[in-house]
Structure 1
């Protein structure tokens, strides 16, 4: 059993309010006519267990959640791509949540990275049509 609620009647958003992408995504989510739980990672600590669950439910490695181009990441690891283990990626997200690559929307069993804030509209459109397959 996971620690993240998977309610089909609620949208959960993990985002960073200090980025324009995060602010815009939040605005799109807030405009939805649904119950919302917004987790602003710049103000709320997200545990390694939660990050691991998010990555697992997106069928992605934890490292895919980290923006390796982010200045905080580059300051510590330089400009080259790095190959870290899952524990190290989780520590990066715990210690430097600003390195989150994209906001993540959760609704029911669907965990979706929002790479462009307007992608949320596509996600909601596919959800309202009753499409059970993951949004790509």
Structure 2
């Protein structure tokens, strides 16, 4: 399968984007929760779609984190290829995310300007509030 390069990240309030790697333990549950939302879903399988360093940089900025904070430093790949306590600068971290997205710590969900790391399956529900804000209570 060829890696497709994506352009700059577009943001839409009607669209729920989920960036995930299928090897991540909560990826399947995150996808199931995303599928249950009313929003249009864009599921981005990082094993098939290659994000650029610019896109990873944008995602980390939107999360208000350093790129290295998105990496699971306990991942066997990191432990084997770097060290047990790797210290990654921004450029190293971005290159690792581009070439080895399986080390992504958590799936990342985006809706409009809201971006979160999905540490638990209920985290995606935080982005759901946007569906109900206009609902009139009886």
Normalised by the shorter chain, which TM-score bucket? 0.7 to 0.9
Once the two structures are TM-superposed, the CA of residue 20 in structure 1 deviates from its matched residue by 2.7
**Pick from 94, 107, 110: which aligns with 1:106?**
110
The 10-residue stretch of structure 1 (103-112 or 16-25) with the greater mean CA deviation from structure 2: 16-25
Query: CA RMSD of the aligned region, Å?
Result: 1.5
Query: TM-score normalised to the size of structure 2?
Result: 0.85
Residue correspondences, number: 127
User: Partner residue of 2:38?
Assistant: 33
- Considering only CA atoms, is the larger Rg found in Structure 1 or Structure 2? 2
Once the two structures are TM-superposed, the CA of residue 78 in structure 1 deviates from its matched residue by 2.0
1:62 and 1:86 in contact (8 A); partners too: yes
Query: TM-score normalised to the size of structure 1?
Result: 0.86
Secondary structure (helix, strand or coil) at the match of 1:20 reads coil
Q: Which runs of 4+ in 1 moved over 2 A?
A: 127-130
Which segments of 5 or more consecutive residues in structure 2 lack a partner in the other structure?
A: 1-6, 134-138
Once the two structures are TM-superposed, the CA of residue 110 in structure 1 deviates from its matched residue by 0.8
User: Partner residue of 1:18?
Assistant: 23
Q: 1:122 to 1:7 in 2, by over 3 A?
A: closer
